[in-house]
Amino acid sequence: MVTEGSVYLYEALDKKVYFKEATILVPSHWKSKNVTKARTESFEKAKIRIDNANSTYGDQPYTKQYGECGTMAEYIHFTPEYLLNDAVIQLYGLRGRVFVHEWAHLRWGVYDEYNKEKPFYHSNGRIEATRCSKNIEGQFYEVTAGGSLQPCHIDPQTSLPTDKCKFFPDRNQNTNSSLMSLPSLDSVSTFCRKNEHNNKAPNLQNEKCDNKATWTVIFEDSVDKDALQTLKPLESPPPPPSFKVVQRAQRVVCLILDVSGSMEGARILQQRQAATHFLRYIIEDQASVGIVTFSTSASTLRSLTIIDSDITRETLVQLLPKRASGSTNMCLGLSQGLHVLQKDNGDVLGDEIIFLTDGQATDNIAGCAPSAIQSGAIISTIAFSNSAAQALTEMADKTGGIFFIAKDDMISNQLMDAFASLTLSTGDYTNEPVQLESVGARTSDWFNGTVSVDQTVGNKTSFVIIYETRFPSIYIQSPSGSIYTQTNMSHDGLLKTVTLNIPGTAEPGDWKYSIQTTSNQAFTITVTSQAAHDDVPPIIVKTHMNQQFSDGTKPMTVFAEVSQNYRPVINAEVWATLESETGSEHTLQLLDNGAGVVQLNPPKPPVSEEPLEVGNFTRTATGESFVVKLSGTTPPNFPPNRITDLSAEIQEDTVLLSWTAPGEDLDQGTAKSYEIRWSFDLDMLRNSFSNGHVVNTAAVSPHEAGSVEQHSFNLSFPIQNGTTLFFAVQSEDEQNAKSETSNIAQASKILHGPKPPGVSNPGMNLTVLVISLCVVIMVICFIVAVTAWAVRRRNRFV
């Protein structure tokens, strides 16, 4: 199966590239005898996933794409049924060809050259099928319920074939492209090149890649653009690749905790509170955990211990450090932690370090960090202060770990959130913790709130309340009215923590908490839960940034995704909070209004499943910290973001344009003005926007970012039948900075004649068309994830 895929890739890129070896990661809960256990692989970071079917798309392979054209995608999703059942080949195509099609999405950030939503378009007075290259020939026809063929009918509203009309390519073709359009066609073996690219087809490749050919994007814009230019063709066909099927082994984690003098007092207490939460509720059963501390010297408080019971968890909790003194010798802590990790199997490859410190190193951390990076351990670092040694970010970045900055301001709850984020998914989300709430406040009266427990969670639900000085009165009410008080909770006076563990499965609905104090003090509440049922994965939240370091020349983008068993969760309220090291906050609402969202292609055959109504729910997630270093004192002025959904329609002699409004700065605020131009020539408008014919926009006042804009106008001449026009828009802000040119929209004026133009009678030399699926989520704006999902998101500027 994959050997065939390597041959296709070898041919598609002029015999430059092939697969030599590959590792296939399967979920850890699958039972198999021929699987190698490995700690170096992570389900969340896997680029090719073999997992149970996405309930929306069935067994159809797809690639999940974020970001811009030429940017690597998130992952390819195959199902066991697709890989093992040869019958599905008739539905989805040969596995090797489909693999190369999806690989191009994944690795090179190209898009589909077909369009299930717009399968036909007008060109030079004819009806054309959306495809690449245009040299692919075929016939249009409808298939009746009995399986016979009949001529296509024309929709009078669009002057295009109706939804029942399909394009069937001829079996014998005189072209070998394109794999992004018709990978199932026998003659197709390569990607569309510039000289054969169909830049007028209304497909995602043209829309998202500025009408560039797939070949052009791969060789000029992708992550491999430099390497592909210098690679030489192989002298012979590639050998069969080797494959290794692996499962993620149980986690091995060492906590390396700072106990230097600057940690004494509130910081050492907050470290204990957060590490306790991690050991009790976050680290999974059967994982191995060790504890190391460092200051002037380093000590092992606990060698690697398997988490096999709640008693073991509490044993580790009791060993957490309570006092702090001395200097900050980070290198000693790193060395001691690596030594602890080596004890189980002689190496640290794939083992994890959670390294927490509150400041700069007394020793030369920059000198010992390289050896820690080369060890093979995954190092996540937490800077518990406003200043962090550069080596902390470097170790996390280069080992696949996560870097956090956590303020020691108690009400931020950032240290608790950082530890709660240190999970490593196995793909079985039913056994993993879900954070429902994390919030803090300072008051001398009441601290009230509501947490929604939806029907996908409820097991192992815990409310953890941390107070600053005096034990408060606490009341927690279930949806049905049952009230829990301190008598139902456990209280740790030394840890200043009150915990309510809900027995069994928590009742779904709104849980209300009320905390009363007579003294002015800070509180935080953290609520976690797990799946209510073994066969119903919970709603989960994932977050990340498009970059971890920025000099201000490129916008930072927050991605926020909420899903349930690969299905997006829609119609929820979404907020992202970004906080700087000085404590200033910037909150953004992430809108589920379809701006920049590409509708997903339907699967074959259609998958019918009732939507899961979950009611109210809450989720919180803390993203990795990121660094912005501006070269000057003035923040950069970003122009309005590029419009990507411009559409055009001609009714009689009137042109109607529609698009989503950009902002003053990318997608924030309101742009000052629009410039609209048109042309008979697509390439001219794309390459030289200023030379296009200008449209009078004096009456057009831009609306707030995310709004739907519409503008209708008449040209200075009658539009002839069969005419196709091309349109584009630029936006301008108050500083006269202009956006990039929008996608090129086209519209044709077609008057109905006695015979529909360009629709031929179906021939007999036909082949069945099989198209692969690509799931696309586009982000169009500054620090906003444009998805049909919901999440509360915390992140921090540094």
CA distance 183 to 9: 12
Question: Are 486 and 436 spatial neighbours (Cβ–Cβ below 8 Å)?
Answer: no
Q: Are strands 21-25 and 242-248 parallel, antiparallel or unpaired?
A: parallel
Length of the chain as a residue count: 798
Residue 130 identity (one-letter amino acid): T
Question: Are 210 and 43 spatial neighbours (Cβ–Cβ below 8 Å)?
Answer: no
CA distance 80 to 103: 18
Going along 503-584, which residue ranges are E strands?
A: 509-516, 521-531, 540-545, 549-550, 558-564, 567-568, 575-580
Three-class SS state of 162: coil
3-state secondary structure 1-21: CHHHHHHHHHHHCCCCCCCCE
State how far the alpha carbon of 460 is from the alpha carbons of 484, 527, 540, 618, in Å.
16, 10, 16, 16
**Tokens in use for 400?**
């696949």
**DSSP bridge partners of 294:** 258, 298
Please name the residue ranges forming H helices in 320-389.
330-345, 365-374
CA distance 447 to 267: 23
Place of tokens 């989960």: 540
**Tokens in use for 231?**
């690679």
Which listed residue (11, 41, 74, 102) is catalytic? Answer: 102
Does the annotation mark 579 as catalytic?
Answer: no
**Tokens in use for 621?**
């997630």
CA distance 476 to 499: 11
* Contacts for 303 with CB less than 8 Å, ≥ 6 apart: 290, 340, 343
3-state helix, strand, coil in the chain (%, to 5): 20, 30, 50
Category of 284 on φ-ψ map: left (φ > 0), alpha (ψ -120 to 50) or beta: beta
CA distance 528 to 460: 8
> Count of CB atoms within 10 A of residue 32's CB?
8
Residue 703 identity (one-letter amino acid): H
**Tokens in use for 710?**
């519409």
CA distance 294 to 2: 49
Residues labelled catalytic: 102
